[in-house]
Amino acid sequence: MARLYEYLAGIIRKAEGTLYLAGGPRDHIHLAVTLDPKMALADFVRNLKANSSRWIHQTFPELRTFAWQDGYAAFSVSHSGLPSVVEYIRRQQEHHRKLSFREELEKLLAKHRIAFDPRFLEGD
């Protein structure tokens, strides 16, 4: 995973962003990122997924079937809240012993009062 995180950091730097921390269990990834304000989030995610998928397929032939899920979730945070987000990402392995990906996402969406259709949540 360290090599993937380094590669993602390079993609983010090239997009004039900053990766503060990447982490998560084997079935999904969390990124604490600052984006260039001129970059649309959807464009950023599309670029990140496309370039990292290509790199994974070229670097690890045994992962030729790897694909990111179709969707993503993104939450903005103030600069003062960034340390809490980084700490949250650091604790992902421990966190996911208690909650599945889907449970975690539903909890985050509810906490931030974001309406969602459960049919569109992937990761189970």
In one-letter notation, the amino acid at residue 1 is M
Closest CA to 75 of 116, 124, 117, 27: 116
Domain that holds residue 106: 2-120
Distance CA 99, CA 110 (A): 15
Q: What is the CATH number for 74? A: 3.30.70.1290
Rounded-to-integer distance, Cα 2 and Cα 23, Å:
9
Give me the pLDDT at residue 122, please: 58
Q: Number of folded domains in the chain?
A: 1
Better-predicted residue by pLDDT, 85 or 97: 85
Longest dimension (CA), the chain: 41
Name which of 7-11, 65-69, 82-86, 104-108 the model is least confident about. Answer: 104-108
pLDDT given at position 44 = 97
Percent of the residues in the chain that have a pLDDT greater than 90, as a whole number: 61
State pTM to two decimals.
0.83
Q: What is the mean pLDDT of residues 87-94?
A: 86
Bridge partners, 31 (sequence order): 22
Write down the pLDDT at residue 14.
Answer: 96
What per-residue confidence (pLDDT) applies to 124? 43
Q: Which tokens belong to 88?
A: 């949250």
